[in-house]
Amino acid sequence: MNIIHTDISVLPKGLDSAPKIKEDDNLMQTCKEFEAIFINMLFKQMKATIPKSNLFDSGLDREIFESMFYEEISKKIAEGEGIGLASELYRSLVLDK
């Protein structure tokens, strides 16, 4: 025997919250992307403080690799716990609504 729920009064509440949940997810994702960009900038600035050395080749291919490497590491850090910037930014943006 199949029981069909016919109370449609719960539908508008559920439908109203669906866009908000998606909007909040999009906002958090954007905050994490911003955090990844910020972390990448931190890595670039830290790398600039390291003295140049002739120990390793320092051609264009190495610069491209390092740039891509720092970008991916930054994304992975922001996807996880991050440095807390995304959550604080998200919290402040949600409170402003």
Give me the pLDDT at residue 73, please.
Answer: 96
Sketch the domain layout of the chain as residue ranges. Answer: 10-96
Residue burial 12-48, b: 16+ Cβ < 10 Å; e: rest: eeeeeeeeeeeeeeeebeebbeebbebbbeebeeeee
Give me the pLDDT at residue 5, please.
Answer: 47
C-alpha 66/C-alpha 68 separation (Å) is 5
Give me the pLDDT at residue 23, please.
Answer: 83
Q: What percent of the chain has pLDDT over 70?
A: 78
C-alpha 63/C-alpha 47 separation (Å) is 11
From the first residue on, what is the mean pLDDT of each consecutive set of 10 residues in the chain (97 residues)?
50 54 87 96 94 79 91 95 94 85
Give me the pLDDT at residue 13, please.
Answer: 54
